[in-house]
Structure 1
């Protein structure tokens, strides 16, 4: 072969390889999976806007500067199938282009939420041409024989139409998004049906057939590591390795749930794969999680990626990278522990806007993302916006220490009063202060006897774990990071640390002067107004602690 042609061939191959690596992707290093954007680890300090906030250009345009002012670096935004493909085969790119342009103007990255066949177990975002054609696009059927408005996951026509639209979307994003504004995709939202099984004939016939070989192979290979819900259901029938759904799992709610889950997961995997063939961005799905342990499938959307059936999803949907919980319940720490697995990094697309959850997710579970829902509603939450600013300030540390075993996090829940953690030679006792206020933080061991503590409302003690030695605090510095460099703003001793007996994590205090107007209307009395007052607001702070042993 001519040397010039050969050189050109290898140059082209190199460019193709580089381009594949340059697009946003997931990378596992140091036992942690990170999202890589522009060839650097990226933390999504994010929020999800309300469902209709990007439904018009006029409504979304003033929203993006507000999100940037809240110190977000990423935003989850909806794109509805009904607006993207209003007529079959006719694609309208107006909204997706506007989302990308507005995000780019405000230096925000985007996870695009594809509201298509389902959203929250319903199908209100499908185009009218799909909704009206009930023969071609058939629905879920109830036990009583009624067809409801929810699209059936057993309908091939709906799956193919959804996938065609999603592929067109991904192709367009690849063509126009040259600056990697869109970094993540979510095909569908909180899928599942509010019943035990789809009672249409297609589904009932499939339920009598053998469990797919791909699922049985997965279960056999991962038998020792399966979720308890799946493992116990399988064990009741002696871990049988072939047969129908009923023969392997019994004629039980679990068998119907696994069957339904398999169908939703394979459907969405088909959609995700169709999109990835056009533009290979990371894909995630989210779950309307189980609300109570005793809830049967169908009380919550049956078929979605709830923690009980994560293994079914892993077997059925290899083109979906991450299964994610939407967390509005109070037991946040328990839920994230269910979803953070070796094969499933933690990504939280919806939550309450309780910012301590973000610190805990990033610091304790190496999360890729934390994103409260309806984020624009928190625009006036000063503690939240300042906390997000601090997360941006320290994200270089979080990314550096993810997966190293040198970073831990704490979060007070319910009536908890303390937490013991261990880093290096030290047992670190964290006492939660001010029980009616948020108490949380991240602790990073940056050297043998040096720690960075980020948070608020805690007292922390450092005890030596080395035999015949006692641990002491030598010095405490309050400070900040400027361009990733530590700057001391105060050296703390005396009353501030009780002479270095503990680290007192006060947080940063802001003093604002504002008129607090209260209209006290009482019968027979004139209106009365309170005078201007001073108000102190505490937000998380950063501390450097130097310890020693003797």
Structure 2
């Protein structure tokens, strides 16, 4: 893995499937799977042991940490060029039930809430996730007591208890690894699928947005909690995970390039990794969209965290938002109902904007009532080695006499003829009289503005 990545000028996050992957223990070695006494499993309410190592199993935790530390020691010795830059211990952890019914776990559930967790909750009370805050509030924000005293005898209380156990287990593993090679560590979440889902419908104990605060308190050796996103409400989900103490890193997602633009442009993401990216090799829009991101990555890195970069992404039939950049107000319209519409807008100067995207109309207005905002010029072009190469000045007809920036994107004519059925139906992707498909991909535009 390291050699291939280095040969292709790539960096690597290594995933460690040891105790758990996707809520089960299918990747554990055979000597662990066979020894169910030493490495005991989660038990159901009726006493049946399932194929998931219990997060209360001390022997499993110690064995996992020992193996992880040995692997980290090997990576440090082998990877002199630091191709590996991030580690993920375990994968989408959690159990598909409300609590582990092992007698040991049930006895611990009767104990006091750990001091470390209560101290964190008290210190961060104002910024806690509403899911935790509401459960705590129902019991009058008590500051000491058992899990049921603090959070009630509820599904939430059992979930918080289970989360604490998973997080402290994985923190122990991560800390052991960092003692050998101090790389950043992340965990990923099989996220809540529906707001009404109770813990256990999704893997209970994993770093879902509802319990991120518990993970922060329990696992200081973990730097980032990350969502795996296959649901359609991408924008809502990334907003849950991008927090002041948690940068946005997306280790799994649908291979939709607009999602990458939105994550980088709106939430200063440090990674967007679509699942099975090798399968996107035939997706022309995806490939060209990533190529344009590569063109402008120097701009994205420069303007992350400055407040001068925002993004838009059409989901469903929603209307585009209004964006504010200093003295300017931008009204964005989505141009197409049947194609992706997305883009990144960066204010690169007091009177200059760079727009990267496709199928958008952007109106530039002044935020001041005594002024009117105008577009002076719009250039279409590209970046080569971080240098701007203009290719076309958009004239009056293309900007409605400088009333709007029309982000057409770059278009490519496909070599594949339309089918007879597509011709008969007037396929919306058929723009050419030669009945070839035209594929729109993101473009890059510079907009010069002025106010009077």
What is the deviation of 1:511?
2.0
Q: If the length of structure 2 is used for normalisation, what is the TM-score?
A: 0.96
Match of 1:495 among 386, 391, 397: 397
Task: Summarize the alignment of residues 47-62 of structure 1 with structure 2, pairs less than 5 Å apart.
Answer: none
Q: How far apart are residue 216 of structure 1 and its match?
A: 0.6
Whether the 8 Å CA contact 1:455–1:505 is kept in 2: the answer is yes
Where does structure 1 differ by over 3 angstroms across 4 or more consecutive aligned residues? Answer: 514-519
Determine the structure 1 residue equivalent to 2:76. 174
CA distance in 2, matches of 1:513, 1:351: 29
Measure how far apart 1:140 and its partner are.
0.2
| Deviation sequence 1:34-82 (CA, Å, 0-9, x none) | xxxxxxxxxxxxxxxxxxxxxxxxxxxxxxxxxxxxxxxxxxxxxxxxx
Deviation of the 1:247 alpha carbon: 1.0
Of 142, 151, 160, which aligns to 1:249? 151
Larger relative contact order (Cα-Cα within 8 Å, sequence gap ≥ 6)? 1
**What is the CA deviation profile of residues 487-533 of structure 1, one whole-angstrom value per residue up to 9, with x for unaligned ones?**
101110122111111000000111232466899xxxxxxxxxxxx96
2:436 maps to which residue?
A: 534
Task: After superposition, give the CA deviation of every residue in 1:357-382 in whole Å (9 maximum; x if it has no partner).
Answer: 10011000000111111212111001
How far apart are the structure 1 equivalents of 2:171 and 2:19? 13
Q: What is the CA deviation profile of residues 460-497 of structure 1, one whole-angstrom value per residue up to 9, with x for unaligned ones?
A: 00001123111110000001111111110111012211
Counterpart position of 2:106: 204
Assess if the C-alpha contact under 8 Å between 1:514 and 1:533 holds in 2: no
Select the residue among 37, 43, 53 that pairs with 1:135: 37
* Residue number in structure 2 paired with 1:91: none
| 3-state SS, counterpart of residue 495 of structure 1 | coil
Q: Does 1:362 align with 2:264?
A: yes
Matched with 1:395 is 297
Specify which of 209, 218, 222 is matched with residue 120 of structure 2.
Answer: 218
Q: Cα offset for 1:417?
A: 2.5
Partner of 1:159: 61
Alignment partners' CA distance in 2, 1:331 and 1:421: 20
Query: Given the alignment, which residue of 165, 168, 192 partners 1:290?
Result: 192
Structure 1 SS opposite 2:180: coil
Shift of 1:279: 0.7
- State whether structure 2 residue 308 is matched by structure 1 residue 406: yes
Structure 1 residue runs of 5 or longer lacking an equivalent are 1-98, 520-531
CA offsets, 1:278-311, max 9 Å, x none?
1111111010111111110000000000000000
What is the CA-CA distance between 1:139 and the residue it aligns to? 0.2
Aligned partners of 2:435, 2:366: CA distance in 1, in Å? 46
Correspondent of 2:380 among 478, 485, 492:
478
| Counterpart secondary structure, 1:396 | helix
- Secondary structure, aligned partner of 2:321: strand
CA distance in 2: counterparts of 1:295 and 1:209, whole angstroms = 27
- Equivalent residue for 2:14, pick from 106, 112, 115: 112
Of the three residues 371, 394, 409, the one matched with 2:273 is 371
Instruction: Give the Cα–Cα distance (whole angstroms) in 2 for the partners of residues 549 and 331 of structure 1.
Output: 37
Q: Which runs of 5+ in 2 are unaligned?
A: 422-433
Deviation at 1:188, TM superposition (A): 0.5
* Partner of residue 185, structure 1: 87
Any idea what the Cα deviations from partners look like across 1:417-438, whole Å, max 9, x if unmatched?
Answer: 3210000211000100111100
Report SS of the residue matched to 2:97: coil
Q: CA RMSD in A?
A: 1.4
Aligned-partner SS, 1:379: helix
State the Cα deviation string for residues 107-158 of structure 1 (Å, max 9, x = none).
1111111111111101100000000000100000000000011110000000
1:150 is aligned, of 37, 52, 64, to 52
Q: Is the 8 A contact 2:418 2:436 kept in 1?
A: no
1:262 aligns with 2:164: yes
